[in-house]
Amino acid sequence: MNWVRIRRALPEDTDAVAALDRVCFRTPWARNDFEKEFTENILASYLIAESGGRLIGYAGIWVVSDEGHITNIAVHPDWRDGGIATMLLQELLRIARGKGAARFTLEVRVSNEHALALYGKFGFRTAGYRKAYYADTGEDAAIMWLYDGEGNA
Ligand SMILES: CC(C)(COP(=O)(O)OP(=O)(O)OC[C@H]1O[C@@H](n2cnc3c(N)ncnc32)[C@H](O)[C@@H]1OP(=O)(O)O)[C@@H](O)C(=O)NCCC(=O)NCCS
């Protein structure tokens, strides 16, 4: 794999991140949502992965008090299975811990085996389900949690 750099997302990354989101998700976020996340939302931290000047992944988290809510993570299909999401999530958790987060949560489609494996590797465990959470398919979301100090890395 070529050299990959992880860095903070900047407002000028908005178009590229929105384009990547359209490649990666059935129901992508609007460009405006990313713009707000990168410019206005003081609770948010976003990272991007790039290689050769090309955006190949991104991930985000909101930290409120001691809780981190992972908003999204995506890697371009050409770059999957190479540890990019693992790198992004590791760095995202490090940043969130630095802002005081000690427990982390997220929602994920119950069919998304790759994402479930990624989160499971970090110690996230399914704590419950939101029925028909995803409007596009009616699929349930698994609600996952990771608690620091419970034997997790
Ligand atoms: C989920 C996603 C972000 C993972 O990105 P990635 O860079 O390929 O992930 P990694 O290479 O770091 O792999 C993470 C773990 O997933 C598992 N995994 C890898 N490839 C897999 C596959 N094809 N199927 C299932 N699990 C797989 C492994 O446990 C791997 O860890 P390991 O290599 O240490 O064993 C990527 O598939 C993606 O962008 N999917 C579409 C968007 C999405 O669904 N995002 C999650 C929203 S909740």
How confident is the model at residue 152, as a pLDDT?
54
18 membership: H or E segment, kind and range: helix 14-24
Q: How far is the CA of 63 from the centre of ligand 1 (A)?
A: 23
Tokens representing 128 are 């419950």
Q: How many CA atoms lie within 13 A of 81 on its CB side?
A: 3
Do 99 and 49 form a contact (C-beta atoms < 8 A)? no
How confident is the model at residue 150, as a pLDDT?
73
How confident is the model at residue 151, as a pLDDT?
57
Q: At residue 153, does pLDDT exceed 60?
A: no
Q: At residue 2, does pLDDT exceed 80?
A: no
Q: Tokens 């997220």 map to which residue?
A: 106
Contacts with 101 (C-beta within 8 Å, 6 or more apart), sequence order: 61, 63, 66, 67, 68, 93
pLDDT category at 1 given cuts 50, 70, 90 is low
Going from N- to C-terminal start, the domains of the chain cover: 5-147
Architecture label for domain 5-147: 3-Layer(aba) Sandwich (3.40)
pLDDT digits (tens, 9 = 90+) for 17-57: 999 999 999 999 999 999 999 999 999 999 999 999 999 99
Ligand 1 atom 26, closest CA:
114
Q: At residue 5, does pLDDT exceed 60?
A: yes
Q: Ligand 1 pocket by C-beta < 6 Å: which residues?
A: 24-25, 73-75, 80-86, 108, 112-115, 117-118, 121
Q: How far is the CA of 85 from the centre of ligand 1 (A)?
A: 7
Ligand 1 atom 22, closest CA:
114
As a whole number of angstroms, the distance between CA 72 and CA 37 comes to 12
- 40 counts as catalytic: no
As a whole number of angstroms, the distance between CA 67 and CA 65 comes to 6
Minimum-distance ligand 1 atom for the alpha carbon of 82? 11
Q: How far is the CA of 77 from the centre of ligand 1 (A)?
A: 10
pLDDT digits (tens, 9 = 90+) for 65-94: 999 999 999 999 999 999 999 999 999 999
